[in-house]
Amino acid sequence: MNTNPAIDASRTALFFVNPDNDFLAEDGKLWPMVAEVTQRVGVLKDLRRVCASARASGLQVVIVPHHRARPTDLAGWDHPTPYHLGGHAAQVCAEGSPGGDLHPDFAPQPGELVCTEHWCSSSFANTNRDTPLKQHGITRVILVGLIANACIESTARYAVELGYQVTLVRDATAATSEAAMHAAHDINAPTYAHAVVTTAKLVSALGTGRQQKEMPA
C-alpha cells in the first residue's frame, strides 16, 4: 500500500462523509458512541485542517450527508440491515431535527457538491455521486468523516470497485472503539486502499494551491 501518493488537485475530490450534527456535535445522537475516540484522536481539529487545506489547494469538495430519518422509512421493507434498524430506532439525523443539520463548522461553500443522502454505509450506492464526479474528471478520492469501519470503509471499497484511486486519512475519522479503528486502518485498508495517511502528511502534500505534489515519507 502506497504511503506517498501524488495528489493532482484537478483530478481529486475530498469526500467528507457524514458531517451531520448527530455524528459530530456533542449533543448528537451518535456522539456518546464515538466521543472517546474522536476526542483522543482530535478528529474535529483534523477535519478542519483537512477542509481548509483541500479548499486552498483547489480540490473538489464533496459533502456526503447521511439519510434524514423519517418514522415511516422502513415500512414494508423485506430486508433491513442491523444498520438500518438501529438508525431507524434512534431516528439518526431525523428530518427537520438539529441532528439532521450539517455541523456548522463544515457547511458547504460555493462550488462544492452536496450529494444525495446515503441510506446505509456506502456513499455511492443508490446516490448521484459517481456520475457528477466523473463528469468533472475526478478519478481520485480522499475520504474523511465518520465512521471509520462503516460508512468510510464501505464508501472506499465501493469507490475502488468503480475505478477510483482511494486515500484514507486515519486521524480525520473515528469509530466506536480503538479495535474498530485498528481493524479499519491496519487490517482492512491494506486490502483495498491505495494509501492511508495522516492529516499532517496530507496537508503537507496539498500545500496551498499546487496542482501536484508528492507526499513526504
pLDDT per residue as tens digits for the range 24-66: 999 999 999 999 999 999 999 999 999 999 999 999 999 999 9
State how far the Cα of 185 lies from the Cα of 187, in Å rounded to an integer. 6
Span 3-28, mean pLDDT?
91
Task: Specify the pTM.
Answer: 0.92
Side chain identity at residue 36, one-letter code = E
Please name each of the domains of the chain with its CATH number. Answer: 6-64+104-214 (3.40.50.850)
Model confidence at 215, pLDDT cuts 50, 70, 90, reads: very low
Model confidence at 5, pLDDT cuts 50, 70, 90, reads: low
Omega before 147 within 30 of 0, i.e. cis? yes
Model confidence at 208, pLDDT cuts 50, 70, 90, reads: very low
For the stretch 112-167, pLDDT in tens is: 999 888 888 888 877 778 888 988 899 999 999 999 999 999 999 999 999 999 99
State how far the Cα of 132 lies from the Cα of 79, in Å rounded to an integer. 30
pLDDT reported for residue 3: 61
Task: Kindly give the interhelix angle for 43-57 and 31-41, rounded to the nearest 10 degrees.
Answer: 70
Model confidence at 86, pLDDT cuts 50, 70, 90, reads: very high
Span 180-201, mean pLDDT?
97
- Percentage of residues in the chain with pLDDT exceeding 70? 93
- CB count within 10 Å of CB 132 equals 15
State how far the Cα of 6 lies from the Cα of 82, in Å rounded to an integer. 38
Nearest to 67, CA basis, from 13, 110, 107, 17: 17
